């Protein structure tokens, strides 16, 4: 049940947002083994003038992606593979002809299973229910 928060600049069209959400959901399932039906992608966009790197507005397309997953559910290698693949996908979709800002970030944030969940139930409660089933 990961959540992905994506910020992009410059502004995009609705079809691009849908394509980004679909691609990131697929990567999350394929690389991290997460269930697509409970993967949520939130996308915010900013004009270039409101995104600065090195104290200056960015010149090219840029992105910042943060994915939240349950701590201990993925290996370091899987997380590294996801970071690389997500960066490449963002670059492919947002700057296919080049000009993608190198200072575009992908962050994997791990949360304790007791600290989050969906449908009113923590991930830890789900783990315990599976263990006793």
Q: Mind listing the pLDDT tens digit of every residue in the chain (133 residues)?
A: 899 999 999 999 999 999 999 999 999 999 999 999 999 999 999 999 999 999 999 999 999 999 999 999 999 999 999 999 999 999 999 999 988 999 999 999 999 999 999 899 999 999 899 999 8
* Helix/strand/coil (H/E/C) assignment for every residue in 83-111: HHHHHHHHHHHHCCCCCECCCCEEEEEEE
Q: Identify the sign of the CA torsion 116, 119, 123, 125.
A: positive
Domains and CATH numbers, the chain: 3-132 (3.30.429.10)
């Amino acid at each position: 049940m990961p959540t992905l928060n994506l910020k992009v600049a410059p502004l995009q069209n609705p079809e691009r947002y849908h394509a980004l959400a679909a691609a990131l959901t697929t990567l999350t399932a394929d690389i991290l083994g997460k269930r697509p039906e409970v993967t949520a992608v939130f996308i915010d966009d900013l004009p270039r003038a409101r995104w600065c790197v090195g104290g200056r507005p960015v010149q090219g397309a840029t992105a910042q992606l943060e994915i939240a997953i349950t701590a201990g559910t993925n290996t370091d290698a899987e997380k590294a593979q996801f970071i690389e693949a997500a960066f490449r996908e963002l670059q492919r979709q947002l700057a296919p002809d080049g000009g993608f800002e190198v200072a575009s970030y992908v962050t994997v944030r791990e949360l304790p299973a007791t600290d989050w969940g969906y449908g009113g139930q923590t991930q830890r409660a789900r783990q315990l229910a599976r263990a006793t089933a």
